């Protein structure tokens, strides 16, 4: 009779928990960006940015570094800091093991597809395995993990 008490497979992380993780990650990135911008440009950042003089810096700090950081966190920790705080981990959908680096890079760029009217992210709320379009394209799922 105790067989019914054993979970049958992974517990997928749903929309709201993943949204909370996203907000945590975004807050961390904003604090990082503002700190770096002030360290490099001081109080003149806003003025220089409005004049188009910070474009290279902005692309590096707001696009390239977050992409690299996310992929590295996914690769070596299975999650970004936000996902870690909500006890979530990205795994290969077929094996439930660590996804390959190629899958993780593909997952990051597949965010562009999920961003179309945000439908790929909203899809998480309705999908049986709580996969966004980026998860489906990359062959990943986000599962609950025990606190380490």
- The two structure tokens encoding residue 8: 């049958």
What local confidence, expressed as pLDDT, does residue 129 receive?
98
Over the stretch 69-109, which tens digit does the pLDDT of each residue have?
Answer: 999 999 999 999 999 999 999 999 999 999 999 999 999 99
Phi-psi region of 34 (alpha: psi -120 to 50; beta: other; left: phi over 0): alpha
**What does the alpha-carbon distance between residue 143 and residue 83 come to, in Å, rounded to a whole number?**
10
What local confidence, expressed as pLDDT, does residue 7 receive?
62
What local confidence, expressed as pLDDT, does residue 147 receive?
74
Determine how many CB atoms are found less than 10 A away from the CB of residue 136.
19
What local confidence, expressed as pLDDT, does residue 121 receive?
98
Distances (CA, A) of 51 to 42, 45, 120: 15, 10, 35
Q: Which residues of the chain have pLDDT under 50?
A: 1
What local confidence, expressed as pLDDT, does residue 8 receive?
75
* Radius of gyration of the chain measured on its C-alpha atoms: 18
What local confidence, expressed as pLDDT, does residue 6 receive?
59
Long-range contacts of 110-116 (CB under 8 A, 24+ apart): 110/134, 110/137, 110/138, 113/137
Helix axes 101-114, 65-77, angle to 10 degrees: 130
- The two structure tokens encoding residue 41: 């440009």
């Amino acid at each position: 009779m105790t067989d019914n008490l054993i979970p049958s497979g992974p517990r997928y992380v749903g929309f709201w928990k993943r949204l909370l993780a996203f907000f945590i990650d975004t807050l961390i990135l904003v604090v990082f960006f503002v700190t770096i911008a002030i360290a490099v440009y001081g109080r003149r950042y806003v003025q220089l940015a409005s004049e188009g003089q910070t474009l290279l810096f902005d692309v590096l700090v707001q696009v390239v570094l977050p992409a690299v950081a996310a992929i590295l966190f996914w690769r070596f920790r299975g999650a970004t800091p936000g996902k870690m705080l909500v006890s979530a981990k990205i795994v290969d959908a077929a094996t439930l093991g660590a996804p390959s680096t190629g899958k993780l890079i593909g997952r990051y760029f597949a965010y562009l597809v999920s961003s179309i009217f945000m439908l790929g992210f909203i899809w998480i709320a309705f999908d049986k395995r709580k996969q966004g379009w980026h998860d489906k394209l990359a062959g990943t799922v986000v599962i609950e993990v025990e606190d380490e």
